[in-house]
Structure 1
Amino acid sequence: MSFPTYPTYKDSGVEWLGEVPEHWVMGSLKNMAQIRNGRDYKEVESSDGEYPVIGSGGQFSNATQYLYEGESVLLGRKGTIDKPLYINGRFWTVDTMFYTEISKGACAKFFYYNSLTIPFGYYSTSTALPSMTQADLLNHPAAIPTKLEQTQIARFLDHETARIDALIEEQQRLIELLKEKRQAVISHAVTKGLDPTVSMKESGVEWLGEVPAHWNVGTLRWYATIQGGVAKGKDYEGRETVVMPYLRVANVQNGYVDLAEVKEIAVLESEVERYRLRAGDVLMNEGGDNDKLGRGTVWQAQIDPCLHQNHVFAIRPNGLLRAEWLAAFTQAEQARTYFYLNSKQSTNLASISASNVMSLALPIPSEKEQLEILTYLEADRSRHEELTAVAVSTVELLQERRSALISAAVTGKIDVRGWQPPVSTQAPELAVAEVV
């Protein structure tokens, strides 16, 4: 969709802003709003409170009182500084979040969309925690149309961003559906096989259910050994050590090893072989959140020598079991159920012992059938990744389109004064206390 430009422009005097519509007034954000500090919320916090308590990361609590009522744009002071929020209602902000009092001659939603174009990285203080100052926000240059025109621009952007957001949500749902489909394909293939006509038998394991009649079912300890990893924080004072790369839980992802950041650890030279990974080891996480627990992948010796943390198991299959088969099975829903049922839960984290890992019941077809199923799963993985990549790319393009459209509208690069929503649609209305 293309939009007209304004008839005449003038130089804004601001390099990044360029030319702006001739009748727009050059100013700064302080010409449209005043910025106020948030306050401590402890005295008003209550789980029964009806007013949202909002920090730079969004709402995190409720309060019995409110700090401000009406339309406002919330701007991060410290922490998450690049996610302005529009709110209309009663709310409380803490000291990491500024709130604004919109001037009578300004439209709150126009101010919100304008604030989305602030180059926060340019202004942010160079500290460990990104921060913004009131002065930098208030003095940020802005080209300001009349309030009537601001309202029309906001109306246009409400409609168009809602439309784009709906398309983004569609693609994100598709990505989730593709992930679920991939999970279902793995779970079925490694427990039922590829032949829908094959005779089935009870596995004797409740969470595993039926398996093909000609498959074996045995515990993992029959087919592999398990190796624990090196613990951090050992005291080697006065003893000769070597520094080695080692893998952590963060490196062991679902189906692959993430080597973007590999840490190093000092160990005794005599301990290197004890903890050294070998090509073909199946790496499995001992702990983490339930999504990370037990997930496995095959180590291909991308770094050699390399050790592993004590929270990462290295499972070494014998000749009767392919490492790739075990890694695939750990991704099946049935294995996920086993790990969950046999883990020790703590808040949102979990851990599983080496003994419980080795007690995992494993359905095992012949080596020939293992290879056939793994080949099928690899082809399915490729298809899944292609489709997911298209959906992810579409989301990125839509997000870029959304940002570009907002920037073009609030800086006057397009003229939407004559825009009207299509007859078949209605511009969305903002609910009271809605956070955009």
Structure 2
Amino acid sequence: MSFPRYPQYKDSGVEWLGEVPRDWEVIPLKRVADFINGAAFKPSEWAESGVPIIRIENLNGGENFNYFSGDLDPRYIVEPGELLFGWSGNRGTSFGPYIWSKEGRYALNQHIFRVVFDGLDSQWFFWSLVAVTSHVEDQAHGIIGMVHVTKGDLGAIKIPFPDEREQRLIAAFLDRETAKIDELMDEQEKLIALLKEKRQTVISHAVTKGLNPVVSMKDSGIEWLGKVPQHWEVAHLKRFCLEITDGAHISPDTEAGVYHFVSTKDLSDDTIDFEGALLTSESSYEYLLKTGCRPFLGDVLFSKDGTIGRTVVVRDEREFVVASSLIIIRSDTSVLDADYLNFLCKSFLVTAQVESFVKGAGLPRLSIQNLLKVLGVFPPKNEQEEIAAFLLGKLTQFDALIKATESAIDLLKERRSALISAAVTGQIDVRGLIKDEQEQAA
């Protein structure tokens, strides 16, 4: 859908803005708002009760709060509906404006600005800050992963300012149009969740019931598992493995990094992201070889810290070592196919047992000792290979659908971002697209 433009434009004098409507002003943020940084609360000042402290993770939906019970400077008090701006953290997640919606009185932590302004439509100003967030990130200082922007840099950014009536209209237009896009994205997210659930159901059925619908069945001896094929064996994973060990319990020597040092974060979508992995030195690698931290072709890597149960089969002869957040499962290839083992570890049969063993509230962990207690279902080797081949083909279809849906979400996100930017910079004339509710009420 195309939108109308304003009749006349002028050069804004700002490279990232380009042209803006002729009657709009272009002024720096510091002229219309004050950015008040939160307090630097020390861990020693945290209390069991009192005023909850808003941190970056709370802006992103986290429900865990620290508390402060001392005298609080009014500058750091946040009430419902106030505009905040995260200015330090990870690109794409921690930067940008947030309207604080929780009821009650909160304290603001450092790395977050409380945005104080007057004479502006608050929702319009929120959308304007959303539009400049990508520009803010481009200007941020710091290394990849952790960056920040100074109050001075943020205040110096120039944005276009229409009159208050147009501010209201732009805000109402964006509220309406982004709600439509958000609803579409929510539907796509639900579809992905359903596809992933169906994907795991297909895996679980294949590795617990087999591919033959008329095969003779027997009681598995596990109440919640039910029956399994008559000729299959129910046993602990360790029975069919040569070795189950975890990775290095030392940090990588990155000063002279040569060999990849892979951890949980580097496992995704049944692949290992070597490009994103840390590197460790040759001497460190030689030491870790002796401790059994190097996987080999056909080994299954199983994440045991943080994100638990993520698995991948090692499919090349690359020399690398793994961190303690991963478990190396080396199957006895005479009786256990690596791909079948990988699918078994992804099935409800294994994940349900693993979840019952997980410990830790802050960083969930699974011990090797508990993984050794996990039961699996094992058909003969040739049948394992048939099941693995079936699943590899079947899951390709699911993965293609999931990827297509993710691409659709990315396009919707791009459209949302472009729409916000176009509206707040005056590339769309919204005056005939939305009704001014205040004027109607008058």
Q: Offset of 1:282 from its aligned partner?
A: 2.7
Aligned to 1:315: 330
Q: Which structure 2 residues correspond to residues 198-209 of structure 1 after superposition, within 5 A?
A: 198-209=215-226
1:368 alignment partner in structure 2: 382
- 1:252·1:284 contact (CA, 8 Å) conserved in 2? no
TM-score by structure 1 length? 0.81
SS in 2 for 1:198: coil
1:27-426 equivalent positions in 2, closer than 5 A: 27-39=27-39, 53-59=53-59, 61=65, 67-69=77-79, 72-79=82-89, 82-87=95-100, 91-104=106-119, 106-118=120-132, 119-126=135-142, 129-228=146-245, 231-233=248-250, 245-253=260-268, 255-260=270-275, 261=277, 263-264=279-280, 266=283, 272=289, 275=292, 276-285=294-303, 287-289=304-306, 291-293=307-309, 295-303=310-318, 305-309=319-323, 311-342=326-357, 345=360, 347-353=362-368, 356-420=370-434
The whole-number CA distance in structure 2 between the counterparts of 1:230 and 1:24 is 60
Change over 3 Å in CA distance of 1:146–1:383 after alignment to 2: same
How far the C-alpha of 1:352 sits from its partner, in A, is: 2.5
Distance 1:222-1:314 versus aligned 2 partners, 3 A rule: closer
Check whether the contact 2:172–2:434 (CA below 8 A) recurs between aligned residues.
Answer: no
Aligned-residue CA RMSD in angstroms?
Answer: 3.3
Per-residue deviation, 1:45:
7.0
Find the aligned partners of 1:148 and 1:186 in 2 and give their Cα distance: 57
Contact preservation (8 Å) 2:55, 2:109: yes
Change (3 A) 1:76 1:332: same
2:83 counterpart SS class: strand
Give 5+ residue unaligned stretches, structure 1. 235-241, 427-436
* CA-CA distance at 1:204 after TM superposition: 1.9
Judge conservation of contact 2:169–2:434 (CA < 8 Å) in 1: no
Deviation string, structure 1 residues 134-161 (Cα, Å, up to 9, x no partner): 3222221122111011111101011111
SS in 1 for 2:142: coil
- Read off the aligned partner of 1:365 and give its amino acid letter: P
Quick one: which amino acid aligns to residue 394 of structure 2? D
Q: Secondary structure at the match of 1:377?
A: helix
Contact 1:56/1:77, CA 8 A, preserved across alignment: no
Q: Does structure 1 conserve the Cα–Cα contact (< 8 Å) formed by 2:308 and 2:364? A: no
String of CA shifts for 1:67-120, please: whole Å, max 9, x gaps.
Answer: 25575421224336622112478654223211122222x211111111112211
Shift of 1:53: 4.0
Name whichever structure is richer in helix by fraction. 2
User: Can you list the C-alpha shifts for 1:208-238, whole angstroms capped at 9, x where unaligned?
Assistant: 431012323333344321153564549xxxx
Q: In the alignment, what sits opposite 1:11? A: 11
User: Aligned-pair distance for 1:269?
Assistant: 5.7
Equivalents in 2 of 1:207, 1:410: separation in Å?
Answer: 56
Aligned partner letter, 2:34: Q
Residue 117 and residue 193 in structure 1: after superposition, are their counterparts in 2 closer, same or farther (change >3 A)?
same
- Corresponding pairs, count: 407
Alignment correspondent of 1:239 = none
3-state SS of paired residue (1:228):
strand
Cα separation, partners in 2 of 1:244 and 1:213, compared to 1, 3 Å: same
Q: Is the 8 A contact 2:296 2:317 kept in 1?
A: no
The 3 A distance-change label for structure 1 pair 151 and 229 is closer
How far apart are residue 374 of structure 1 and its match? 1.5
Judged with a 3 Å threshold, the aligned counterparts in structure 2 of structure 1 residues 207 and 252 are, in CA distance, closer, same or farther, namely farther
User: 1:351 Cα deviation (Å)?
Assistant: 2.2
1:321 Cα offset (Å): 1.9
- SS state at 1:186 partner: helix
Q: Is the 8 A contact 1:32 1:111 kept in 2?
A: no
CA separation of 1:412 and 1:345: change in aligned 2, threshold 3 A: closer
SS at match of 1:197: coil
Checking the alignment, whether the CA contact within 8 Å between 1:254 and 1:292 is kept in structure 2 is: no
Counterpart amino acid of residue 89 in structure 2: G
Is the partner of 2:235 in helix, strand or coil? strand
Cα 1:77/1:306, change in 2 over 3 Å:
closer
1:57 & 1:344 partners in 2: Cα distance? 22
Q: Which amino acid aligns with 1:174?
A: L
State the Cα distance separating 1:380 from its structure 2 match: 1.9
Question: Larger deviation: 338-347 or 75-84?
Answer: 338-347
Q: Cα offset for 1:133?
A: 2.6
The residue identity in structure 2 corresponding to 1:301 is D
SS at match of 1:319: coil
Q: Which SS does the other structure have where 1:417 is aligned?
A: helix
1:339–1:352 contact (8 Å) kept in structure 2: no
- Once the two structures are TM-superposed, the CA of residue 177 in structure 1 deviates from its matched residue by 1.3
Q: Which amino acid aligns with 1:292?
A: I
CA–CA separation in structure 1 for the residues paired with 2:46 and 2:153: 30
Are 1:29 and 1:141, in contact at CA under 8 Å, matched by a contact in 2?
yes
Sort the Cα spacing of 1:151 and 1:321 in 2 relative to 1 into closer, same or farther, 3 A: same
